[in-house]
Structures are given as C-alpha cells and as structure tokens.
Amino acid sequence: MSWPMVEIGGLVTKIDTWNPAKQGGKTPFDYIDLSSVDKDSKKIVSESLAKVVPDKAPSRARQLVKEDDVLVATVRPNLNGVAVVEAEFSGATASTGYCILRVNPKLLDYRYLFYWVQSPLFITDMMSKASGANYPAVSDKIIKESKIPHPPLAEQKRIAAILDKADAIRQKRQQAIKLADEFLRSVFLEMFGDPVTNPKGWGVKELGDVTVKITDGVHSKPQYVDSGVPFISVKDITTGTLNFNDTKFITEDAHQKYIKRCNPEFHDILYTKVGATYGRPAIIETENQFSLYVSVALIKPNHKLINAYFLKEVLATSAIKRQADRSIKGAGVPDLHLVEIRKFIIPVPDMNTQREYVNKTSSIRRKIIRLNESLKLIEEGFNSLSQKAFSGQL
C-alpha cells in the first residue's frame, strides 16, 4: 500500500516562545537543553534539566513546550536526539537547538510522528541536508519541509501501537544494560570510594603518570569509502562499548598513514573528548584494526601500573566526569584537550586489589556484552518493522 507523502510543517501547529532575559524575575524555570535528552532511550532525563533564573537564562532558552510535543535536535542529526514531552515537563522551556513539533491531532498522531523521526529514512534525509563539517546541523525549516508518509489517522494510531510494543522490548533491554552498568559502578565505589575524595586513602596519580601514551585521532576529515577499515568517531562509542554497527570506512592506505600517530590496540581505552557526549570511556576488546577521528582520545595504559578494566571504570565515574566538566574548552562545541585529560587525578591501588575488582565483576561484564549483542538484534528488528510500517506493509 502506498500513502501520500506530506510535509510535516502542514501537519503541526505553532508553538509559543518567550524571552526570559527580557521578562526578568527570580523564579527559576525548567530548561531542556541538548544534553537533557537521552539519545538511547529517546526520553527527557529529569536529572539533566537545569533550573534557570530568567535574567541569567541562556540565549537559546526560548521555546515553551507542552505534553506530547515531539522534540527533534537540529544539531548532529546522525545522533538522533528526539523525545516526546511527557506531562511532568509540560511548561518547560526548550533550547532553540530543538525543532518543536506540535501535531494537529486531527491530522497527525504524535506517537506516529515520534517513530517517524527515529526512522532510518528520516535520519538519512536529515544527514544529507545537514550543513557544517565539524558541527552538522539542519534548520527547523528543513525538518518541517521534509515529508512523512500520511495514512488515515486510524491507521497512524494502529502503526504507533505496534511500534509501541516493539519499542517496549527495546527499552527493557536498554534498562537491563543500564542496571548492569550501575552494578559495576556500585562495586567500584564500594571497593575504592569516590576517586576525588578518596575516602580509603589510596595512592593517587595523574592519568598521564600511569599511561604510556595519550593522543587522539585524525585531525582532518578523511575520504570515506564503501568498505575498508572502520573509522571510529564519538557516535560509535557508548559507555563501556565500542560499536561497529554504523561506522564509516577508510582505505587501508589511509589507515596505515593514520596509525603512525594513533594506533588503537587491544585493551587500550577510548575516551570521547568533543561534543555533547564528551567524557565517555570504552575499552577495546577486539584485535580488529580501525582508525580514530580527533573527537576520540586514545589512552594506552601502562599495564605494569594499572589494569585496563579498572582504568575504564575509573574514567566512567561521576567524579572523573566532574573533572572533565571543569576542564572543558570551547564556547560552541565542547572540547576536552589532551593536556587536561592527562591531568585527571585518579586513585591507583596496588595491582592485586585492581585484579580483585576485575575478577569480581567479570561475570557482569560478560553479561553486558551479551545484552549489547541481543540489543543489536532487537534494534535491527525494530528498524525492519519500522520500515515496513511506514511503507504500508504491516
């Protein structure tokens, strides 16, 4: 079945805006910025909302949102920062970094729209229209001029209900991974305490003192090819996981040139250093070769002084993230310089104690690997279902 393709802008209504700085006052309001949306769960995270006083509000704090609005981040469309505004966030102010889509309920179901803006078809379309090499972005106009398959409203609701059920399975698996990660954090804190306050009195060192090299990837954008050596950037790293599912590729010749500066190897640590998702570590658990973009730091542990799994867990703690937050540079795009990463203060217990932690958590790490593998299959199934749904094959 083929449905007409209709511009999104003709199916949504206008939203209200305001200028907090001009209105003034001392009553704080909830501010949804680009870091407030979890790009995996596609939800607004209440802990990430800022309480902002009007006369000190960021210039981007302008858009008043309501329940069931669909937020679409206009920057880095490949990361797909989308979410539905739940009741608790109704009345909050969103950054102009989001395009706010408020459906006309007589024409468009908001859940149907929410799943459409997650679809590979929509994401690919936005990526092809994005401008800016280092900070790709699309405009509200581009999003609203893009087209969505437009079946009758009853059919939209039926499709959304099917995708709701499939998404619930995906969300449960993501939650299981999150809980497993939290277990790793809790074991770490129980054994070693907060790395900054260091309540157990472990010896502390700068990160640069327990590593043999800290560098980053290629500083110029390479020429991509259809297949070859994977080229890893921030989008391919989540906490604890290096993801090859959606990588770009470079030639073998280009890779051999790049590894003279940055040669990722088994049990090295990757650490995101640019953009909204800076400060996320992942451990390399593959012998396969790949190259890195400048947005990712490569940390080579001195294995005589520090265990790679222990170091990865230290870098994942909120205490180290706070050090990163204090060190970040860049007014527009956050950038964590290598010299600042080298200065991170970390606890360094004796190797036997580090190995004790690694042995204690080995089973949960294996579980996380299995959960991530199954999540990959679930997401592939969800994307296939979504494709069928929007092409009228359900």
The answer for residues whose C-beta is within 8 angstroms of residue 52's C-beta and 6 or more apart is: 20, 28, 29, 30, 31, 58, 61, 93
Residue 172 pLDDT > 80 = yes
Question: Crossing angle for the helix pair 351-360 and 362-390, nearest 10 degrees?
Answer: 50
User: Which pLDDT score, from 0 to 100, does residue 319 have?
Assistant: 81
Residue 333 pLDDT > 70 = no
Give the mean pLDDT of the chain: 90
Nearest to 92 by CA among 79, 83, 104: 83
What are 52-68's pLDDT values in tens digits? 999 888 899 999 999 99
User: Which pLDDT score, from 0 to 100, does residue 25 have?
Assistant: 80
Residue 13 pLDDT > 60 = yes
User: Which pLDDT score, from 0 to 100, does residue 78 have?
Assistant: 84
If one compares 274 and 66, the residue with the highest pLDDT of the two is 66
C-alpha 303/C-alpha 327 separation (Å) is: 26
User: Which pLDDT score, from 0 to 100, does residue 351 have?
Assistant: 93
Residue 334 pLDDT > 80 = no
Residue 6 pLDDT > 90 = yes
Residue 276 pLDDT > 80 = no
Q: What is the mean pLDDT of residues 233-249?
A: 80
User: Which pLDDT score, from 0 to 100, does residue 9 have?
Assistant: 97
Q: What is the mean pLDDT of residues 165-185?
A: 89
Tokens in use for 308?
A: 């790679």
User: Which pLDDT score, from 0 to 100, does residue 110 have?
Assistant: 98
Residue 2 pLDDT > 70 = yes
If one compares 377 and 145, the residue with the highest pLDDT of the two is 145
If one compares 149 and 374, the residue with the highest pLDDT of the two is 149
User: Which pLDDT score, from 0 to 100, does residue 189 have?
Assistant: 85
User: Which pLDDT score, from 0 to 100, does residue 264 have?
Assistant: 94
Share of the chain above pLDDT 90, in %: 56
User: Which pLDDT score, from 0 to 100, does residue 95 have?
Assistant: 94
pTM of this structure: 0.76
Question: How many CB atoms sit inside 10 A of residue 287's CB?
Answer: 7
What are 31-54's pLDDT values in tens digits? 999 889 988 889 999 888 888 999
User: Which pLDDT score, from 0 to 100, does residue 230 have?
Assistant: 93
- CA distances (Å), origin 257, targets 71, 233, 262, 290: 41, 17, 10, 12
Nearest to 135 by CA among 9, 279, 276: 276
Q: Strand 29-32 vs strand 50-52: parallel, antiparallel, or unpaired?
A: antiparallel
Local confidence band at 1 (pLDDT 50, 70, 90 cut-offs): low
Cβ pair 239, 201 in contact under 8 A: no
Residue 132 pLDDT > 90 = no
Residue 106 pLDDT > 80 = yes
Q: Strand 37-38 vs strand 43-44: parallel, antiparallel, or unpaired?
A: antiparallel
User: Which pLDDT score, from 0 to 100, does residue 236 have?
Assistant: 85
Residue 331 pLDDT > 60 = no
Q: What is the mean pLDDT of residues 310-334?
A: 82
Helix (H, G, I), strand (E, B) or coil at 366: helix
Residue 243 pLDDT > 90 = no
Q: What is the mean pLDDT of residues 274-293?
A: 88
Residue 332 pLDDT > 80 = no
User: Which pLDDT score, from 0 to 100, does residue 247 have?
Assistant: 87
Q: What is the mean pLDDT of residues 111-125?
A: 95
Q: What is the mean pLDDT of residues 200-226?
A: 91
Q: What is the mean pLDDT of residues 20-28?
A: 85
What are 72-83's pLDDT values in tens digits? 999 989 889 999
User: Which pLDDT score, from 0 to 100, does residue 137 have?
Assistant: 92
Domains of the chain, CATH where assigned = 5-150 (3.90.220.20), 193-353 (3.90.220.20)
Q: What is the mean pLDDT of residues 278-298?
A: 91
Q: What is the mean pLDDT of residues 311-334?
A: 81
Q: CA 331, 334, 337, 340 torsion: positive or negative? A: positive
Residue spans of beta strands (DSSP E) within 60-187: 61-64, 70-73, 82-84, 93-95, 98-103, 147-149
Kindly calculate the radius of gyration of the chain based on its CA atoms and give it in whole angstroms. 22
